[in-house]
A and B are shown apart, each in its own frame.
Chain A
């Protein structure tokens, strides 16, 4: 079966711009979560969606937002980009309802560079 698909793979944006990243989960998976990975901070949790509802959000400013559609695809948006937003953004899907017994599957990530 197809894995988790993230688009685009690479992005270069200018400070102050906004960006939208997309994630298509494994078919049948209803949970999608997003992580930011930087060399200094490691993997940090951004937010998690299940059946179009945000269930948890990490400690990021309001410039970071997301949503999930009825087909479980998810998007995250970053507005007013800052240099520090340069990172690898990873999306993960899970079949979990009450608990992630099946584990998480990650996409290949979107490498965002802010200049």
Chain B
């Protein structure tokens, strides 16, 4: 059974810093992992999808990595901006469903 954990639960950093969000999962047979962003009261926006055959995916200032052997994924945000403030969720596949971590609430201070 897949379980997903995210740490930290909340993170506050000054604008311009580079930062890393962590995600760990229990089922190493994972075939992909997806990172989402959620603004308050809104739906989920997909940021990056990493297939098990890949080790990294990049989109603009975002870079996600996947290490199946250690059961970990990281989301790297470069040169953070106040508009990056949101909750970030990682999710791995379960049986016809996504299994989510509890999310990291990120605040970027101007």
Q: Is the CB of B34 within 8 A of A104?
A: yes
Q: Is the CB of A45 within 8 A of B43?
A: no
Q: Is the CB of A43 within 8 A of B41?
A: no
Q: Is the CB of A100 within 8 A of B43?
A: no
B109 within 8 Å of A (CB atoms): no
**A34 closest partner in B (C-beta):** B97
Interface string of A51-63 (1 = CB under 8 A from B): 0000110100000
Chain A interface category by residue count: 20 to 34
Q: Is the CB of B44 within 8 A of A106?
A: yes
In the bound complex, how far is the Cα of B89 from the Cα of A92, in angstroms? 15
Q: Is the CB of B43 within 8 A of A50?
A: no
In the bound complex, how far is the Cα of B80 from the Cα of A14, in angstroms? 43
Q: Which of A6, A56, A90 contacts B95 (CB 8 A)?
A: A56
B98 within 8 Å of A (CB atoms): yes
B12 within 8 Å of A (CB atoms): no
- Please give, as numbers and ranges, the residues of chain A lying within 8 Å of B71 by CB-CB distance: none
A84 within 8 Å of B (CB atoms): no
Q: Is the CB of A56 within 8 A of B96?
A: yes
Q: Is the CB of B89 within 8 A of A107?
A: no
Q: Is the CB of A108 within 8 A of B98?
A: no
A-B contact pairs, 24 of them (CB 8 A): A31-B96, A33-B96, A43-B89, A45-B94, A45-B97, A45-B98, A45-B99, A50-B96, A56-B97, A58-B97, A88-B41, A90-B44, A92-B98, A100-B32, A101-B31, A101-B32, A102-B49, A103-B46, A104-B91, A105-B46, A106-B44, A106-B45, A108-B42, A108-B43
B interface residue numbers (CB < 8 A to A): 31-32, 34, 36, 41-46, 49, 51, 89, 91, 93-100, 102-103
